[in-house]
Amino acid sequence: MPPSLARPIPETADRDAPAVRVRNFTRRFGQTVVLNDLNIDIGRGEFVALLGRSGSGKTTLLRTLAGLDSAGGQDVTTPATRAVVFQDARLLPWKRVWRNVALGLSGADARARAEAALEEVGLGHRLEVWPSTLSGGESQRASLARALVREPGLLLLDEPFAALDALTRIRMHDLVLSLWRKHAPAVLLVTHDVDEAISLADRVLVLDAGAIAAEEKITLPRPRESNAEFRAIRNRLLGHLGVEAPRAAPVEGALIAFPSGEIVA
């Protein structure tokens, strides 16, 4: 691999070493500093969520870890095998679904591996269809199968559920967690959804002004419900994002005063 790209972890690496190691990483675009002296570790098999306002550098970091952008010779180490699932499934419309999943695979078993991956995500019955016939949730399942068929050491999820309806998102959350438990890659999920981050991740990072501004370890048992501890974590994360925590719902029968002075019972 060229020295300008993220260095892959060698096969002989210390198994206790993190899957992802970023040290003092800085990224500039012209005079604009997007990532500033950034330090991040992601353990092998750890699920990390990354929150941040628009322009905070989330996508820049993800693209660097994916090898899509150069690391510029800086100290960035990742597993040799990585895969990305984007918000847009990015399926090739002229290839059948199984061929999309098998894209880039070599060997006589490529189709068998693609079929097995599609079975895992519940699309074993859609092998031969065209991508245009898939629903939004099915398209993301196919994209997830394409990522996992390579058994990546690092799975990067770039807001993959943002365009899905609420019910489909819940189903995709369950699917991702079950596949993560089975395949055990390190995962970095980039999201704007605080509840999604808390529900899925072992650890949530907040990126602000190109640096990690906060970190929350999530020890709530899965599946996670919106209990008092969940809400306390959410409020802390919202505070780090510069968002005022929502006020508690008014008690039935209480008087509500509006800015205009109008009071409604």
Return the pLDDT at 243. 84
Residue 103 in contact with residue 118, Cβ under 8 Å? no
Return the pLDDT at 14. 55
Tokens of 8: 């892959």
Return the pLDDT at 256. 44
CATH topology of domain 7-264: Rossmann fold (3.40.50)
Return the pLDDT at 19. 96
Spans in the chain with pLDDT lower than 50 = 1-5, 9-13, 254-265
Return the pLDDT at 163. 87
| Residue 223, preceding peptide bond in cis (omega within 30° of 0) | yes
Domain ranges (residues) in the chain: 7-264
Return the pLDDT at 107. 83
Return the pLDDT at 5. 45
For residue 157, give the 3-state DSSP assignment: strand
Q: Enter the pTM of the model.
A: 0.85
